Amino acid sequence: MSAEIISGTQMRQEILAELEHEVKAMQEQHGTVPGLVTILVGENPASVSYVTLKVKTALSLGFHEVQDNQPEDISEQDLLALIEKYNNDPAIHGILVQLPLPKHINEDAVINAISPDKDVDGFHPVNLGKMVIGGDQVRYLPCTPAGIQEMIVRSGTETEGAEVVVVGRSNIVGKPISVMMGQKGPGANSTVTMVHTRTKDLAAHCQRADILIVAAGVPGLVKPEWIKPGATVIDVGVNRIGVSEETGKAILSGDVDFEAAKEIAGKITPVPGGVGPMTITMLMKNTVKSAWWHLQ
């Protein structure tokens, strides 16, 4: 039987409708709306398209949105000064600096310069530390892992005591989602194994997974025979494997052989239209959260 498809596009609609409602309530009750600044350095085509979508989504929710585009050759010092300006701007609740940055700029210095209170990407070491501690300490969860967890929960997948296998150990996906699924609480309480390029028998680990989360950046890495029948499979891979002759747009593929895997999995996310739309949605959710916190 074919797996249930977990549609990020559909879940995005549901969550954005909830957020739109919250923004209206905030405006009515407090005369303010969430403020987000998107800082884009240079013109990397993928970054331009991500930022365009973030701006469009923020505007559709009624946010105060500042699109701050900077030239490729901006100095690190000037970029840090710009971030400091937004750290001190009371109309801005979330600061997003699109990554990657040009080579002459130290990304860590930039992430560290964003006030942890406005770090809606959840990349600042203070927020990552609070995420690891868990419970009441948690502030901003990084957007892609938060989107993955939301998809698991909203799809009705049982996480309590589930075997979760995470393929990949990046700072923005593999490491944080491994910690989050192992935390105490609803939507978590799982037993987590994180595997990576040095793992001896990748297939054997994946075959044990009730929930398989793949964020390796290798197209088609996960073969159908690695999937436990009935498992929930979350494919985080966004690999550009070519360009469509018809549309000129990039052809995307995930890290999982989707067509074959959907005949074995119980639930599966597609690429595109799976985790991708959820990342931007969680950025919006973090910005709304920040605006409420700043009102307190």
Instruction: Check the annotation: does 168 bind a ligand.
Output: yes
Q: Specify whether 200 is catalytic.
A: no
Pair of tokens at residue 51: 């930022």
Please identify, using beta-carbon distances, which residue of 5 and 99 lies nearer to ligand GUN: 99
Between 40 and 264, name the residue whose CB sits nearer to ligand GUN: 40
CB 124 within 8 A of CB 112: yes
The β-bridge partners of 66 are 37
177 binds ligand GUN (CB under 6 A): no
C-alpha distance from residue 27 to each of 20, 62, 150, 282, 292 (Å)? 11, 10, 26, 20, 11
As to burial, measured by CB atoms within 10 angstroms (0-12 exposed, 13-18 middle, 19+ buried), residue 273 is middle
And the tokens for 125?
Answer: 């070491």
* DSSP 8-class letter at 266: S
- In angstroms, how far is CA 48 from the centroid of its own chain? 17
Q: Under the criterion CB under 6 A, does residue 121 sit at the interface with ligand GUN? A: yes
Is 121 annotated in the active site? Answer: yes
279 touching ligand GUN, by CB under 6 A = yes
Q: Does residue number 96 form part of the binding site for ligand GUN (CB under 6 A)? A: yes
- Is residue 250 a contact point for ligand GUN (CB under 6 A)? no
Was 195 annotated as part of a binding site? Answer: no
Q: Tell me the sheet residues that pair with 40.
A: 69
286 CA to centre of own chain: 11
Work out how close the CB of 143 gets to ligand GUN at its nearest, in angstroms, rounded to a whole number.
5
Q: How far is the CB of 236 from ligand GUN (least distance, A)?
A: 11
Regarding 143 and contact with ligand GUN (CB under 6 A), the answer is yes
Lay out the site mask for ligand GUN across 44-83 (x = CB under 6 A, - = otherwise): ----------------------------------------
Q: Is 210 a catalytic residue?
A: no
- Choose between 179 and 227: whose C-beta lies nearer to ligand GUN: 179
Contact 227, 239 (CB under 8 A): no
Beta strands 239-243 and 250-253: pairing type? antiparallel
Q: Which of 117, 121, 210, 235 is catalytic?
A: 121
Just list the catalytic residues. 54, 98, 121
Output the known binding site. Answer: 168-170, 238
